[in-house]
């Protein structure tokens, strides 16, 4: 048996999160001889127990696919992680170790406080992001990587709004949209992570209006990006 921890938080309804991840991993390992049992590590990450003829190959594949939490981040290197919190003075990202992005590290997103910028770019807890480490001493200080900044600006400069949703499966999100009769107002649902999605609105559809409509049907934190055509 091989046990690994991957860079995938399991939060909210953890049983549902485990089921969603199990379905995803079973599909990814369908051509390999390995059984996967998923649990939650003490830090909230997905812990996988793999057993079978191809357990080593499966473990290596999943670690390369998802990455693993880091215990120590090195300055100058990029790391994938998840937003843990938006505070008045910083955005906190978890890569396995906590990374603090202060106001000066957010200048690539324009002017404003961390809270204002998070609201403007749809940055909510558990959004998957990539950060670059600037300093790793008493606390780890970072900023969003160039690739991550480019993605945020692509959303912002788009001609349509985007609604960012966490803690929801694709089927739950589709159900909320169907119940509120907003299917015609949605162009697509873009998967950002296991339980994180971007609802791409059609032209002339008001993102905040979609938030107000679907919010009561979801146990989610929701952000919105108001698109601006260039």
- Judgement on whether residues 45 and 90 belong to the same structural domain of the protein: no
CA distance 217 to 215: 5
pLDDT digits (tens, 9 = 90+) for 149-175: 999 999 999 999 999 999 999 999 999
Classified as helix, coil or strand, 80 is strand
Mean pLDDT on 24-42: 96
Q: Evaluate whether residue 179 is within a structural domain.
A: yes
- Judgement on whether residues 37 and 94 belong to the same structural domain of the protein: no
Classified as helix, coil or strand, 86 is strand
- Judgement on whether residues 50 and 99 belong to the same structural domain of the protein: no
Which CATH number does the domain housing residue 193 bear? 3.30.70.260
- Judgement on whether residues 124 and 188 belong to the same structural domain of the protein: no
- Judgement on whether residues 178 and 122 belong to the same structural domain of the protein: no
Q: Work out the angle at residue 113's Cα, subtended by the Cα atoms of residues 157 and 86, and round it to the nearest 5 degrees.
A: 90
Mean pLDDT on 188-201: 96
Q: Evaluate whether residue 58 is within a structural domain.
A: yes
- Judgement on whether residues 141 and 176 belong to the same structural domain of the protein: no
- Judgement on whether residues 138 and 185 belong to the same structural domain of the protein: no
State the residue range of the domain holding 20.
2-66
| Distance between start and end Cα atoms, the chain | 54
Q: Evaluate whether residue 35 is within a structural domain.
A: yes
Mean pLDDT estimate for the chain: 95
Mean pLDDT on 3-20: 95
Model confidence at 137, in pLDDT bands (50, 70, 90)? Answer: confident
Mean pLDDT on 193-197: 96
Q: Give the model's pLDDT for residue 138.
A: 85
- Judgement on whether residues 184 and 213 belong to the same structural domain of the protein: yes
Q: Is the pLDDT of residue 230 over 80?
A: no
Q: Give the model's pLDDT for residue 158.
A: 94
Mean pLDDT on 117-137: 96
Q: Give the model's pLDDT for residue 6.
A: 97
* pLDDT > 90: percent of the chain: 97
Q: Is the pLDDT of residue 117 over 70?
A: yes
Q: Evaluate whether residue 180 is within a structural domain.
A: yes
Q: Is the pLDDT of residue 226 over 60?
A: yes
Q: Evaluate whether residue 230 is within a structural domain.
A: no
How many domains does the chain divide into? 3
CA distance 123 to 117: 8
Q: Which of 151, 178, 198 is the last residue of a domain?
A: 151
Q: Evaluate whether residue 211 is within a structural domain.
A: yes
- Judgement on whether residues 112 and 143 belong to the same structural domain of the protein: yes
Q: Give the model's pLDDT for residue 229.
A: 57
């Amino acid at each position: 048996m091989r046990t690994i921890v991957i860079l995938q938080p399991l939060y909210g309804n953890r049983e549902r999160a485990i089921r969603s991840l199990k379905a995803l991993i079973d599909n990814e390992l369908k051509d390999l001889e390995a059984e996967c049992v998923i649990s939650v590590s003490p830090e909230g990450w997905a812990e996988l127990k793999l057993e079978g003829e191809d357990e080593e190959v499966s473990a290596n594949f999943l670690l390369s696919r998802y990455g693993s939490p880091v215990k120590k981040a090195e300055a100058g290197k990029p790391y994938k992680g998840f937003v843990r919190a938006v505070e008045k003075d910083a955005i906190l990202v978890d890569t396995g170790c906590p990374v603090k992005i202060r106001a000066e590290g957010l200048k690539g997103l324009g002017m404003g406080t961390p809270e204002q910028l998070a609201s403007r770019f749809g940055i909510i807890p558990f959004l998957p992001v990539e950060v670059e480490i600037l300093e790793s001493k008493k606390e780890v200080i970072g900023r969003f990587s160039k690739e991550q900044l480019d993605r945020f600006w692509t959303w912002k400069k788009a001609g349509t709004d985007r609604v960012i949703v966490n803690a929801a499966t694709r089927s739950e999100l589709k159900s909320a949209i169907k119940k509120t009769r907003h299917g015609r107002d949605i162009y697509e649902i873009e998967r950002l992570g296991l339980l994180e999605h971007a609802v791409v609105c059609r032209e002339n559809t008001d993102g905040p209006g979609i938030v107000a409509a679907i919010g009561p049907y979801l146990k989610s934190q929701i952000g919105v990006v108001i698109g601006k055509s260039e």
